[in-house]
Amino acid sequence: MIVVVGIGADGMAGLAPASRRELARATVVYGSQRQLDLLDSEITGVRRAWPTPMLPALRTLLDGADGDVHVVASGDPLLHGVGNSLIRLHGVDAVTVLPHVSSVTLACSRVGWAVQDTEIISLVTAPPHTAVRRGGQAVVLSRDGTSPAALARLLTDTDRGDSEVTVLEQLGGPRELRRSAIAREWASRPPGDVDALNVMAVRYLPDERQGATLPDDVFAHDGQLTKQAMRAVTLAALAPRPGELLWDVGAGSGSVAIEWCRSTPGARAVAFERDAERRTRITRNAAAFGVPVEVGFDAPATFATTPPPAVIFVGGGVSQPGLLEACWDRLPAGGRLVANAVTVESEAVLAQWYSRHGGELRRFQHYRGEPVGGFTGWRAAMPVTQWVVTRR
Ligand SMILES: C[S@@+](CC[C@H](N)C(=O)[O-])C[C@H]1O[C@@H](n2cnc3c(N)ncnc32)[C@H](O)[C@@H]1O
């Protein structure tokens, strides 16, 4: 059995009796050096600091073990913690977890927020822009002492400079410290001495949260944008599922990749765009919504080095020789492909692929009411042909 014991910044003094008893009977205790240093002389087991990388050591933790193996972890080991990795690797029946109060609960208690109304975001392994939101509140787990300055800058760069940021260091310990500022202030004058052990409580302002499908003008674009109505039917065809990776090929402004990521937990996207200026714009649009869109280069040249997708959207370049073949080749069995075409030539390509592989072919025509003198007439957008297929 692996016994994972959560410990706070107050060390042994804050442990519940059951956690203290577990550690007292341990013959070997694994943990980060910082956590092992919190243990006092009551703990006589051999202390082993995690090596880098940590994963192989987690995998072999029980190899040759004579009895139980103990692990110390910060706070609640099942909140972005080692407890989750150990259960994934060894199964739930092989791991016992004795949780301590999490840094999220401690942070909420300091700022008086209801935990259930607070999003939890981790920057421990994710890039800082994934903690940007259009509104609401979150406790953000920092990677290190530089995370608050990085987030304050990103919030300011994405029109969220009014956001209220509280940095909470060494929560629950003797060196606990709390400082608050408006993101804009820290963007220009960041605190230079933030402890590596910190989380942030962020209220994102102004609050402009909105569900799908977003209006066109929230994206920076140069006209290369799948318009809102077409984006809505395209998202329906893409049918996002949690954790799936989308390839958005010919991404333009990245609006489809961004909506994909917003639609379901854990969704990720790679946006392929050959134009360098548009690639920069996609990166900025993704940062404004805090979504994990990686910007790839030209398609299909970079396909081979990109992780395989669950779903591919081809929003541009259908008539480019070899592009659809290259997409099809990289699509796993059960993977979905959606391709939109506006020109007669690209529509002809889709018709051919449809007759070869089946799926569904459809055509959308949207009209918008516009003034005609003192009256209103229908202005037609270009019709869009869409092929939707699941690879067998
Ligand atoms: C890998 S996560 C683990 C979270 C942990 N399982 C928990 O329940 O708090 C590490 C993150 O928690 C933060 N953290 C952990 N203990 C903390 C404390 N006492 N005060 C402030 N931040 C803390 C770290 O700075 C980092 O962002």
| DSSP track, 36-87 | HTT--TT--SEEEEPPSS-HHHHHTTTTT--S-EEEEEES-TTSSSHHHHHH
- All residues at 6 or more sequence positions from 144 whose CB lies less than 8 Å from its CB, including other chains: 196
CB 194 within 8 A of CB 214: no
**Could you tell me which of 222, 23, 123 has the C-alpha nearest to residue 31?**
23
Q: Are residues 360 and 225 in the same domain?
A: yes
- Look up residue 358 and give its two tokens: 């089946």
In a domain, 167, yes or no: yes
Pocket test for ligand 1, best of 197, 200, 202 (most atoms within 8 A of CB): 197
| β-pairing verdict for 136-141 and 198-204 | antiparallel
Task: Single out the residue in 44, 75, 101 at which a domain terminates.
Answer: 101
If one counts the domains in the chain, the total is 3
User: Ligand 1 in contact with 100 (CB < 6 A)?
Assistant: no
Count of alpha carbons within 13 angstroms of residue 109, beta-carbon side: 8
Please indicate, yes or no, if residue 41 is contained in any of the structural domains: yes
> Would 192 be classed as within a structural domain?
yes
Q: Determine, yes or no, domain membership for 347.
A: yes
Does 330 lie in the same domain as 253? yes
State the pLDDT at residue 345: 94
Judge whether 237 lies within some domain. Answer: yes
Same structural domain, 349 and 227: yes
290: Cβ below 6 Å to ligand 1?
A: no
User: In sequence order, what are the beta bridge partners of 138?
Assistant: 119, 202
Residue 83 in contact with ligand 1 by CB distance below 6 A: no
Instruction: Please identify, among 204, 235, 256, the residue that sits at the C-terminal boundary of a domain.
Output: 204
User: How many A from CA of 73 to the centre of ligand 1?
Assistant: 9
| Helix (H) or strand (E) run with residue 35 in it | helix 33-36
Q: CA 314 → CA 138, 226, 279, distances in Å? A: 34, 11, 16
**What pairs with residue 198 in β-bridges?**
169
- To test the pocket of ligand 1, the residue of 199, 200, 202 to mutate (highest count of ligand atoms within 8 Å of its CB) is 199
Residues 6+ apart with CB under 8 A from 133: 119, 160, 202, 204, 209, 290
**Whether the Cβ atoms of residue 316 and residue 224 lie closer than 8 Å to each other:** yes
Q: Which amino acid is at 174?
A: P
Nearest CA owner, ligand 1 atom 22 = 198
Q: Does residue 210 form part of some domain?
A: no
**339 and 271 in a common domain:** yes
Q: Whose CA is nearest to atom 21 of ligand 1?
A: 198
**119 Cα distance to chain centroid:** 13
Asked if 390 and 359 count as a contact pair (C-beta separation under 8 A), the reply is yes
Residue 129, token pair as written in the block = 């822009």
Query: Measured on CA atoms in the order 156, 160, 161, 163, is the torsion positive or negative?
Result: negative
81 in any annotated domain = yes
* Cross-strand bridge partners of residue 379: 368
CA distance 132 to 29: 37
Whether ligand 1 lies within 6 angstroms of the CB of 76 is answered as yes
Find out whether the beta carbon of 318 lies less than 6 Å from any atom of ligand 1.
Answer: no
- What is the biggest distance separating any 2 CA atoms in the chain, rounded to whole angstroms? 88
Q: Which atom of ligand 1 lies at the shortest distance from residue 176's CA?
A: 20
Tell me, what CATH number does 110's domain have?
Answer: 3.30.950.10
For ligand 1, whether the C-beta of 170 sits within 6 Å is: yes
Q: Is 167 in the pocket of ligand 1 (CB under 6 A)?
A: no
* Residue range(s) defining the domain that contains residue 66: 2-101
Q: Are residues 265 and 380 in the same domain?
A: yes
**Within this chain, do residues 227 and 96 fall inside the same structural domain, yes or no?**
no
Tell me which residues of the chain have a pLDDT lower than 50. Answer: none
d(CA 87, CA 113): 30
Co-location of 119 and 47 in the same domain: no
pLDDT reported for residue 282:
97
Q: Which of 76, 101, 126 is the last residue of a domain?
A: 101
Assess whether 246 and 386 both reside in one domain: yes
Element spanning 121, H or E: strand 119-122
Please report the atom of ligand 1 found closest to the CA of residue 78: 6
Render the burial of 32-43: b for 16+ CB within 10 Å, e for the rest. Answer: eeebbebbeeeb
**What is the Cα–Cα distance from 50 to 57, expressed in whole angstroms?**
7
309 in the same domain as 188: no
